Amino acid sequence: MLSIDVIREKAAEWLSEGFNEATRNEVREMIDNDEKKLIDAFYQDLEFGTGGLRGIMGAGTNRMNIYTLGMATQGLSNYIIKQCGNSGIRVAIAYDCRNNSKYFAETTANIFSANGFEVFLFESLRPTPELSFAIRHYKCQSGVVITASHNPPEYNGYKAYWNDGGQVVAPHDDGIIDEVRKIKSVAEIRFDGKKDKIKILGKETDDLFLREVYKMSLNPEAIKKCSDIGIVYTPIHGTGITMVPPALKMYGFKNIISVPEQDIIDGNFPTVKSPNPEEPDALRMAIQKAVETGAELVMATDPDADRLGIAVKNKQGEFILLNGNQTGVILVWYILSQFKENNMYAGNEYIIKTIVTSDLIEKIAEGYNVEFFNVLTGFKFFAELIRKNEGKKKYIGGGEESYGFLPGEYVRDKDAVASCALAAEAAAWSKSKGKSLFELLLDIYVQYGFYKEKLINIVRKGKEGADEIKAMMNAYRNNPPEKINNSRVIKINDYQKQISYDILKCSESTIDLTKSDVLQFFLEDGSKISVRPSGTEPKIKLYFSVNAKLESPDKFEETEKTLDKRISDIIHDMKLA
């Protein structure tokens, strides 16, 4: 780490006239009165990674502010000009509910316009998927959304997109990073925006986006029969409030119930510990509202409305949370079943899932004779594959275990707006058949197998933690276990080496995916363990997947206990608990 003297020198540079008064005052206060805060703010530069920026807001080189954001935007601008020339360039910008998001978005718009770009800036907060749509619709070369997803309130972030509406991938990711790193001074940032270059987007774009969302509907007749199904929806103070209720109404749902306290746009997220639909607390108020009103379905979206959490009633009439795998399974099954029921197949359809997402999705695709693809974690890889297949094959749906799903091709990132509408339609369809969504899930398990997944995160902070995580990966890679929980390891996928090892056949094959520090162990009993360091947080993630035959819905609880024990035994055998 830098010495305190070097850190003070870096901080002193932020007292110059190139920085605004509020920033200078904040830095001066740290220098005079708070050395720890000063160190945290300046000990490193906030890294522009393959997904953009994300960090705590405040003054400093290691903080999210208009200067670190400005350097990123100027670097991105320089790269776009190198790739596309310096005339006729268009970019789109959206932002979420977080503190300073509008300010950061307007700053970004000013920098792009100062570089001569035509800028499409949303008039107020909008979901990330609508930004992806706007990039494609307005034929932009790039785009940016200001969001830190589900991070705590003190964070904000900046995600960069390319002309297909997907987050940047190779070779553009490395190219942009190189250009951002070349910006050494705030004096290189062109803050002097050209207002005549900035076009404000509003209702017209919303209507175009919602029209595409409506095209994802597969069975409007089912909705007509069950239009009064009770749906509680919460945006958790975020952007979903702008598009999800209108989408549900457009689909024909008439009993949409809000959680008024969480409809209030607020970057402090006052009603939840975390605005993350993966967390039970985030859906607590919505479930309470559903119990009070007799609703049948609960849905929540994260602050930028690209991920979806669902709660449904179990056989005892109690609300339970579905995980991302289960939601993905239901949506994939529903899409494939409706395509078949309505004779919509042309024979070139396919679905996508990530390598750590439930293999049950693969089984369902095989059952419907539909092609499927596995990609690395991250929806930028969905977008990349969709782009490669454009004009040859038709993407119709897919998702990841971390609560992201995308139906259709008009957006190239996770889309919780269309996913909410489609999940509600699946619930209406199930009800028209005399079933709940939970009962539908059990039917899928009976037909294709009961798959149970669990994720554990091992957090290791600081340099020592990073070294420990690296050592764990090296140990798994160089000394892989022969057995786990008394079941033989029969295959190992090493995505760093891009090799799949078939232990039984003593053979190797190439993995045709980008290099990534991920390992997977496949066991003789059908279990799968995936290990990967997080790309955004100081932790290593371990994904466990086990499965068994489900004889009948009545055997669900008994079979689930068996699978839970198997996961617990695997974790214990691997000395992780």
Cα 58 to Cα 105: distance, rounded to the nearest angstrom: 16
| Distances from the Cα of 553 to the Cα of 385, 439, 445, 522, angstroms | 37, 8, 8, 27
CA distance 250 to 573: 51
Alpha carbons 123 and 49: distance in angstroms, whole number: 28
Q: Quick count: other Cβ atoms within 10 Å of Cβ 545?
A: 26
SS (H, E, C) 421-473: HHHHHHHHHHHHCCCCHHHHHHHHHHHHCEEEEEEEEEECCHHHHHHHHHHHH
**Gyration radius of the chain's alpha carbons:** 24
149 is catalytic: yes
Contact 116, 195 (CB under 8 A): no
Question: Cα separation of 181 and 193, whole Å?
Answer: 22
Helices within 122-171 (DSSP H only)? 128-137
Q: Which tokens belong to 563?
A: 């699978």
- Does residue 489 contact residue 480 with C-beta atoms inside 8 Å? yes
Which residue among 149, 337, 358, 516 is the active-site one? 149
Distances in whole angstroms, Cα of residue 291 to Cα of each of 288, 312, 319: 5, 11, 8
Q: Are 406 and 421 in contact (CB under 8 A)?
A: no
CA–CA separation, 12 and 27 (whole Å): 8
Query: What's the rounded Cα separation, in Å, for the pair 241 and 264?
Result: 9
Asked if residue 103 lies in contact with residue 310, where contact means CB atoms within 8 angstroms, the answer is no
Output b/e per residue, 64-84; b: 16+ Cβ within 10 A: bbbbbbbbbbbbbbbbbbebe
Active site residue ranges = 149
